Each structure stands twice: as structure tokens, then as C-alpha cells.
Amino acid sequence: MSRSNRSPMSIGCPACNATVSATLPPGPGIVETEAEPHPEDENRLRGTDARCRNCGHELELYFY
Ligand SMILES: [Zn+2]
């Protein structure tokens, strides 16, 4: 029974359809806002970059 929070994610490159794997940082998955959420913080998603090894296309991944 081994559970890893850092499971690599496979994404299809939109440019060449190759498989791009990106590792998401560990986290609860859901980020809760603090006491009073500000409208500007509403769109604050965490993101990471991944680059396709085949064509060099850069992907931006956003997650909660
Ligand atoms: Zn590609």
C-alpha cells in the first residue's frame, strides 16, 4: 500500500500530440481561501510549466 502525492501526470501535447509528463507539486488538491476572499484572488490558480520533448511546445498547467 504505497501512496504518492507526487504522481506524474501525462498530458497530450496540443501541437504534436506527443505525451508530455509533468509532475505536480504535492498539495491538498483544493486550496481554500482565507477568511475573506478578495475578488482579485479568485483567479489565483497555481500553475506549472511543462515542455514537450518532441516539439518543444510549452504547456501551462493550472490546478487547484
Ligand atoms: Zn509537442
**Does residue 2 form part of some domain?**
no
Q: Please give the helix or strand (H or E) that residue 29 lies within, else none.
A: none
**Does residue 32 form part of some domain?**
yes
- What is the per-residue pLDDT across 11-51, written as a single tens digit (0 to 9) for each? 899 999 999 988 766 665 555 555 655 555 555 667 788 89
Distance 51 CA to ligand 1 centre (A): 8
**Does residue 59 form part of some domain?**
yes
Q: Residue 47 — φ and ψ, nearest 5°?
A: -135, 165
Domain count, the chain: 1
Q: Which domain holds residue 12?
A: 7-63
**Does residue 27 form part of some domain?**
yes
For residues 10 and 54, which has the higher predicted lDDT (pLDDT)?
54
Distance 9 CA to ligand 1 centre (A): 15
